[in-house]
Structure 1
Amino acid sequence: MNIRQCTICEAKNAGHRPRVNPRLCSDCQDWDDLLHVNYCRERTSSHAPLNPTLFSYKHNPDWPPSRKGNYSELKDLAFFSGEYFAARRHCLMCSVLGDALQRAGSENGDGQETKLAVWRPFILDPGRNQLNVRDEQTAVEKGMVPWLQKCVLAICIATAPTGEDSWTYQPSIIEFVLRYENWCYDLSQIAPWERKAMDMGQIRTWLHRCLNEHGEECSVSWVPPSVNLPRGFRLIDVRERQVVLPQAQVEYVALSYVWNAASASPEKQKLQLDSENIKHLEAPNSLKDSILPEVVADAIYLCLDIGQRYLWVDRFCIVQDDLELKAEQIDAMGVIYDRAFLTIVALGDGPTAGLVGLPCRPRQQGFQNRSWDLLATMSNPVGEARLPLIDMAISESVWNGRAWTFQERALSKRKIYFDAGQVYGSCTKERWQEKPVDEDATEWKKTEAWEIHELPDSPWDFGLDSFTTYSKVITQFSPRKLTFPEDVLRAFAGVVNVLEMKLKRPILLGHPEEFFTESLRWVPEPGFMGARRVLDNVPSWSWASWDSRATWDIDWTIAPGIYLASRVSEVKASFVNFYVSDPKGGLRPVREQHLSLEHYLAEQKRVALGAIKEAAASWWPSSNTDDPMIVELSELDQLTKQVWDWARHKAQSDDATHPWPPSTARTPRTERLHDLSEDETAFAALRNLEEHTDTRWWPPTTTKDPEAIQKLENLSKKISTLAEGRPNSLVFNTTCAYLKIGPFGRMWFKIPPRRTSAGASFKTKMASPSV
């Protein structure tokens, strides 16, 4: 690594004694040069080989570790008592450690012995100055002397009952600022690192950038303007400190949080809007900080600071004991978050002290790491204190694992996230991250934290009008946690409404009707343990009935939502339409748009013939000028036969270079036929023709048997009557069955198609539902 040599090693290499800093004791002289205590000691393996993730907060698993294993244990560190540090009060570092140990002892209370060990420092150097500035003259020219270095010191505090030897070891941190009179050497002072509150101007700048530079891109709603906010829609007037029923459309901020983590106070946690206190909470100045959950009180403070008058919070804007009105408003939460000017998000893990980092809720110094990922990587052995990037801070939060917050994140235009030790933000164009105090704004914008691009908040791509759009959303939502399992489809309702409106496709119990057969292929993700949800009117064929991540078996359809392929009999079959027992409308067909089997086969033949004509001209009859993409359907089979006969003749007369039939050729399978050579392209296309011409199908594409058609189209009256008494059950006639039995589909049985048809009603499926 191209890095300056530290003053301590430089003296030793020259055969001199290193300079002695009188402000440090003999054991702490390494601290006189920051590079030595951080880099040189790492290089010489002087730091104990501990696992840094023990000390980290939301560690990024993609960052390589400093070693691959064989970590030592915390108890193997060198621990010292209060008496040791008290005897060295003249030492800058020992004085800081002694104060920390004394504070830890007072927190543990009487009857406990406490001792402390130091592991290693991690520095905050987002501009990589220690690596980029390699000599003191450059540092002086840049105004970096004296040098103030923010540092996170990884320590371990051990406690045991007095007189006993049963020690408990707690990985901890101390945050401080080191002052060096020269470029990273000659330590003169150690001061507390004050990180109590962020500069609120940053949040105002983020919002100003979005409003003034992004235009319509950050103002367009997912929900059409024709959809109104629900009746009884209330807001908190943060100026008057009261719940109001606005008489006109107003701009407002929404709060998103984990309900049971709003406060550590049982009394504050219980407070909510209901029919008994509604008049009181609608009175001016009724919402005092002293009675509100801390996260709500702080959201009010933030609204006032950024100039927003109204705030929506579910527990104070929905009358909780008016069940009818509550149901309407819960079903409309997607609209509420979509219309909000801004959403404030509390990411806190566990009962929170509020939106930490606001001036009204300053961060408290302590031994618990609530901010830093600490790492010395193999590529950069200098120990670094890194702020978790916004992606990781969100993905590793409890908030992000809750079902209700899925639609809140996906539908909100702008969001400000409060983690335990850091503030983040995002809109549809950018992501933001709190700049540490005293960091140069220009240098900060060069760091990874300021990388300007959007977060992948929206789980859908409406440009993909296919099952891919739906399955991606459901796969992300299905593993999320619920306090009340019966809320699973209600928590998904806001997203469903957007998908239905944008793609103009109805969704039935979490399954898009347009791709219903394909959607029914879902299985619980292998290895993702879950449990069956026994819910009223949520049948087992819906992924919502299973507490697990839903994934899709991609093996057994050859066209979206229509056809099944049996590997046992090699006979392919198509489903007849499904009917659902709708609780409101009775038995009705599922609105799935099947392509006809004839249409599917014709399209496959056209594509194969087109590939031969365009990219394998020598395999195309020279006398034929027809365009296979527009030739009449009645002439398509004749054209197929002509091309097939020509290719067979060419293959058999060409010194047996090309085996026949095409199914015996080892031609690469690829969707991009034009990437192959001419001969490989021809045989890949011919194999397609072979598959879609000679394969046996049931029902036969040419059947004219009225009795067979009637059996497939008419439902059994007995089965239909049974289904009407079982809401949300499915009724269908089919020509084949595919049943998986066993945990997560490890075993399966296939029943090949026969020349018979039967009615069936499915209310429950076994183990791994894949009817």
Structure 2
Amino acid sequence: METPDALCMACAKVDLFSLFNGPRYFPRDGYDNKISVSLGTLADVYANVSCPLCRLIKHDLYSTGDGFLWATKDDYVDPSKVQVTVRPVRADCKEEMRYLDEKTRDKVATILEVCLSPLEGLSAKETDLVWHHQRGDGIQLLSPDSVDPARPLLNGYRATTIANSLDLLQMWMNTCVESHTLQSQRGTGSRPYFHGAAVEYGIRVIDVEHRTIMERNPEEIEYAALSYVWSTNSAEDAGAMLQDQAMAKAEATQGSSSTLPQKIPKVVEDAVFVCKKLAIPYLWVDRYCIDQSDRVRMASEIEGMGYRYHYAKLTLIAGSGPASDNESEIGLLPVSGSGGMEELQRVETVQERKYITSLPSIRTQLHGSPWIQRSWTMQEGQLSNRCAFFGNYDVSFLCGLGHWRESLHSGPYAHEAEIPDIEMECEGYCMLSWLSWQRVKHWKFEDYTSLLMSYTPRKMSFESDKLNAITGCLNFITEMKGVHFIYGLPATDFHYALLWTGGYDRSREGFPSWSWAGWHCLQQNHLVYPLQNGTCSLEEDEHGNLQTVGPIDRDIELQGLFISLTEAPHLTNKCSQRFANIYFPSYKTNTLLTITSEIAHFSLDILPSPSKPEDWYKKSRHLKVPYDFDSTSTPSDKISWDLNSEYRTPFERLRLRDDYNNVHTYHYPRWYDHWPPFTINLPQTLRGETIAWLLKQGVELIMIVEIELLSGDKSLKPFHLVLCLVLDRRGDVAKRCGMCCLPKEFWDKSRPQMGSITLG
């Protein structure tokens, strides 16, 4: 028997196994009393080539991920002035899915996290580099022989070959299908979406054995769905799709079947290979299974995209590799063929137990993947019942109750059919996650706005798909919660839905300005929203028109930035509210919205900065309003803008002035200054012509909701606010270009008048 290498002096003082079976750290448990052990300097660890623990630490820091220690290869810090410590944390600390049950969490294994800290003698820049160093992925006990029996979940495991990955994936899927059915009936397993939903058409699927495309009933077959990112050249993709489908139709072999083209993108070829290995007979891929030549059916297919992923036995997610212009080079599998992946991890024997370096978490792989950045992929992941995520390093399987990775082994809980003694329910952030918009059957506005905050920053190839790419999620809400949507806004609580804000700069063609879909938005959110169910709504009359129904005055519990304090963001409060009257003529075919409410006219002042900031020109990718620009002293006929450029709106320099020369000084909302709060939430970036119009012509604000605090927590100060839309009245039809919150006192000083405005 080969004698293991001896530990260095620093490592020999550490009882390594005690760090894995003793107390450990988890972010939600706070930062006090962290357990950590020093192992000397980085130079010592690097030099101790004969110490197995030092070899593990060196591999963890230098050989996984980017392959170099600091943020860039040009950065360098003297390793003799960097302290190396290790601390035990729960193994799901960085993972996408985390167990909800406390007893189950106790069974999760420990991972040893390697940390760096600066010693004396480093410069400020070097100290900052050390503190902001992205830690390695950690060290774990090697399963199955060296684990702590009390913590069998998510121990370290060696990722080897694609063949082994697919064998494990088959077992994980079988475990889910066989073990989670009963739990699913109790509402904790694979989620029951779209109960009894009618499907207008069957679906076209690829027969992976015969490589033909045929139509089938999705409820009668087993198929996998592919979720992947198209190449960055969307025009080429669209042309290639139409060409592929034309070739498939030309090579039709029988009846409604057609032949898959001989040359297909590598990601699709890999998906066909995986389906064969998993004994899944059919594969659904949008590129070949949505008929682009039939516009009527294509519209129906897009409307039903959520159903495609719901009915799939498994969704295959291509999460590896950066986006590429050459789609044929992007694959599904992390390593082509049956090549090995052993070099990514290191195994060492320390004090008679085997340890292994970890691979980047699924969360790290997700956020480093182009898949997480695309609009369509959000609903593809969240509406699936089971997902196989093929990352850069290993393969993961996620369902409503399970989370398995090749490099995180869970012993008998990973592969046995029966799981009677453990609650596997998880929470997550990106897909199959514990989001109440999916789980809770009643309508909650905060679920809707959190969904949009996740969706709106994502990128898409075709701007016309802005609503199409989230239709599946909205259809789910409609079916499960009974809330219908109008251009992405819920008919229930429609007034509050109109008050979305965020970083948006220019309009999007084909959508109304009052919808968030009508703007290029960095991230949509709502600053105030109701907590209880259905405070205001629009309902359809016999002629297909929508209008405000129900009481316009009632007590309501609200949540939002303007009515909460940072240290207690969920204060209970009762508010009165008054709504504008809203009317949609034939809303199914007409995007025009008429609002009858109080209207006031304001102008916008931009004051100069007190001094020129040293980095004023670096703060934004966009051009800025000049720091010394002063609209209050510059004659309006002298204001000149580059109309084709965008300018960062200088919020700290804004003043709102009404027709009676009352000026309201800007200050930060919430707790920073004084009450009541005020902010003018114009787009963070505005085109020059819009700024010029605001300064020369002024804006009109139309009141949508007026709210007043009636009672609440003693620490919540009284408020009486008016929430308005900022209107551009230059065209025949007004356009929404911002949202504004004003104290009622200031609103009254502007002497608003009742009127009706039609928004397009």
Q: With the length of structure 1 as denominator, give the TM-score of the two structures.
A: 0.52
CA distance 1:361–1:37, shift in 2 (3 Å)? closer
How far apart are 1:260 and its partner, in Å?
1.7
Residue in structure 1 matching 2:306, options 327, 334, 358: 334
Residue in structure 1 matching 2:203, options 220, 227, 233: 233
Residue in structure 1 matching 2:331, options 354, 359, 369: 354
Give, as a single letter, the amino acid of the residue that structure 2 aligns with 1:254.
A
Contact 2:6 2:50 (8 Å CA) reproduced: no
Give, as a single letter, the amino acid of the residue that structure 2 aligns with 1:245.
E
The equivalent residue for 2:277 is 305
In 1, the alpha carbon distance for the partners of 2:527 and 2:372 equals: 26
Contact 2:404 2:414 (8 Å CA) reproduced: no
* 1:588 has 2:545 as partner: yes
CA distance 1:337–1:733, shift in 2 (3 Å)? same
Higher-helix-fraction structure? 1
Residues 3-14 of structure 1 mapped to structure 2, 5 A cutoff: 6=6, 9=9
The equivalent residue for 1:16 is none
The equivalent residue for 2:715 is none
Residue in structure 1 matching 2:291, options 319, 322, 327: 319
The equivalent residue for 2:216 is 246
In 2, the alpha carbon distance for the partners of 1:308 and 1:295 equals: 17
How far apart are 1:294 and its partner, in Å?
1.1
The equivalent residue for 1:466 is 444
CA distance 1:737–1:587, shift in 2 (3 Å)? farther
Contact 1:122 1:384 (8 Å CA) reproduced: no
Give, as a single letter, the amino acid of the residue that structure 1 aligns with 2:226.
L
Give, as a single letter, the amino acid of the residue that structure 1 aligns with 2:116.
S
Contact 2:362 2:396 (8 Å CA) reproduced: yes
Aligned pairs, number: 499
How far apart are 1:466 and its partner, in Å?
2.3
How far apart are 1:554 and its partner, in Å?
2.2
CA distance 1:262–1:281, shift in 2 (3 Å)? farther
In 2, the alpha carbon distance for the partners of 1:443 and 1:767 equals: 52
Give, as a single letter, the amino acid of the residue that structure 1 aligns with 2:319.
L
CA distance 1:394–1:330, shift in 2 (3 Å)? same
Residues 595-674 of structure 1 mapped to structure 2, 5 A cutoff: 595-597=551-553, 599-600=554-555
* 1:547 has 2:521 as partner: yes
Give, as a single letter, the amino acid of the residue that structure 2 aligns with 1:730.
L
* 1:414 has 2:386 as partner: yes
CA distance 1:220–1:587, shift in 2 (3 Å)? closer
Give, as a single letter, the amino acid of the residue that structure 1 aligns with 2:197.
S
Give, as a single letter, the amino acid of the residue that structure 2 aligns with 1:550.
Q
The equivalent residue for 2:51 is 33
CA distance 1:252–1:386, shift in 2 (3 Å)? same
Contact 2:467 2:517 (8 Å CA) reproduced: no
Residue segments in structure 2 that go unaligned for 5+ positions in a row: 14-44, 62-66, 74-92, 97-112, 127-134, 148-155, 348-353, 416-421, 559-566, 605-647, 655-678, 681-700, 707-723, 742-758
The equivalent residue for 1:200 is 166
The equivalent residue for 1:388 is 360
SS in 1 for 2:525: strand
CA distance 1:52–1:550, shift in 2 (3 Å)? same
Give, as a single letter, the amino acid of the residue that structure 2 aligns with 1:198.
N
Give, as a single letter, the amino acid of the residue that structure 2 aligns with 1:505.
V
Residue in structure 2 matching 1:766, options 712, 718, 737: 737
The equivalent residue for 2:116 is 66
CA distance 1:8–1:390, shift in 2 (3 Å)? closer
Residues 108-147 of structure 1 mapped to structure 2, 5 A cutoff: 125-127=139-141
Give, as a single letter, the amino acid of the residue that structure 2 aligns with 1:496.
L
Give, as a single letter, the amino acid of the residue that structure 1 aligns with 2:216.
P
Contact 1:256 1:345 (8 Å CA) reproduced: yes
Give, as a single letter, the amino acid of the residue that structure 1 aligns with 2:520.
W
Q: With the length of structure 2 as denominator, give the TM-score of the two structures.
A: 0.53
SS in 2 for 1:259: coil
Residues 480-495 of structure 1 mapped to structure 2, 5 A cutoff: 480-495=458-473
CA distance 1:452–1:373, shift in 2 (3 Å)? farther
CA distance 1:402–1:451, shift in 2 (3 Å)? farther
In 2, the alpha carbon distance for the partners of 1:739 and 1:372 equals: 64
Give, as a single letter, the amino acid of the residue that structure 1 aligns with 2:298.
K
SS in 2 for 1:492: helix
Partner deviation per Cα, 1:672-727 (whole Å, 9 max, x = no partner): 89xxxxxxxxxx9xxx7xx97xxxx989xxxxxxxxxxxx9798xxxx99x99994
Partner deviation per Cα, 1:120-141 (whole Å, 9 max, x = no partner): x989742079xx99xxxxxxxx
How far apart are 1:238 and its partner, in Å?
0.8
In 2, the alpha carbon distance for the partners of 1:596 and 1:12 equals: 73
CA distance 1:540–1:274, shift in 2 (3 Å)? same
How far apart are 1:360 and its partner, in Å?
3.4
The equivalent residue for 1:729 is 592
RMSD: 5.8
Give, as a single letter, the amino acid of the residue that structure 1 aligns with 2:172.
W
Contact 2:319 2:391 (8 Å CA) reproduced: yes
Contact 2:499 2:739 (8 Å CA) reproduced: no
SS in 1 for 2:176: helix
SS in 2 for 1:532: strand
In 1, the alpha carbon distance for the partners of 2:569 and 2:59 equals: 54
In 2, the alpha carbon distance for the partners of 1:66 and 1:451 equals: 36
In 1, the alpha carbon distance for the partners of 2:451 and 2:178 equals: 31
How far apart are 1:277 and its partner, in Å?
3.3
Residues 683-722 of structure 1 mapped to structure 2, 5 A cutoff: none
How far apart are 1:413 and its partner, in Å?
0.5
How far apart are 1:7 and its partner, in Å?
5.2
How far apart are 1:247 and its partner, in Å?
6.6
Contact 2:142 2:157 (8 Å CA) reproduced: no
In 2, the alpha carbon distance for the partners of 1:61 and 1:251 equals: 29
Higher-strand-fraction structure? 2
SS in 2 for 1:416: strand
Residue in structure 2 matching 1:532, options 487, 506, 530: 506
Identity %: 19
Residues 270-289 of structure 1 mapped to structure 2, 5 A cutoff: 273-280=244-251, 286-287=259-260
CA distance 1:424–1:468, shift in 2 (3 Å)? same
In 1, the alpha carbon distance for the partners of 2:461 and 2:238 equals: 20
Residue segments in structure 1 that go unaligned for 5+ positions in a row: 14-26, 44-48, 75-120, 134-148, 152-192, 375-381, 563-574, 605-667, 674-683, 700-711
Residues 512-531 of structure 1 mapped to structure 2, 5 A cutoff: 512-524=490-502, 530-531=504-505
Give, as a single letter, the amino acid of the residue that structure 2 aligns with 1:67.
S
Contact 1:540 1:765 (8 Å CA) reproduced: yes
How far apart are 1:600 and its partner, in Å?
2.9
CA distance 1:578–1:391, shift in 2 (3 Å)? same
Give, as a single letter, the amino acid of the residue that structure 1 aligns with 2:555.
Y
Contact 1:273 1:316 (8 Å CA) reproduced: yes
CA distance 1:505–1:66, shift in 2 (3 Å)? same
CA distance 1:353–1:318, shift in 2 (3 Å)? same
Contact 2:374 2:459 (8 Å CA) reproduced: yes
Contact 1:485 1:533 (8 Å CA) reproduced: no
How far apart are 1:540 and its partner, in Å?
3.9
Give, as a single letter, the amino acid of the residue that structure 2 aligns with 1:207.
M
Give, as a single letter, the amino acid of the residue that structure 2 aligns with 1:243.
I
In 1, the alpha carbon distance for the partners of 2:450 and 2:12 equals: 60
In 2, the alpha carbon distance for the partners of 1:404 and 1:588 equals: 31
The equivalent residue for 1:144 is none
CA distance 1:11–1:409, shift in 2 (3 Å)? closer
SS in 1 for 2:466: helix
Question: Whose radius of gyration is greater, 1 or 2?
Answer: 1
Contact 1:426 1:432 (8 Å CA) reproduced: yes
SS in 1 for 2:116: coil
How far apart are 1:250 and its partner, in Å?
1.7
SS in 2 for 1:126: strand
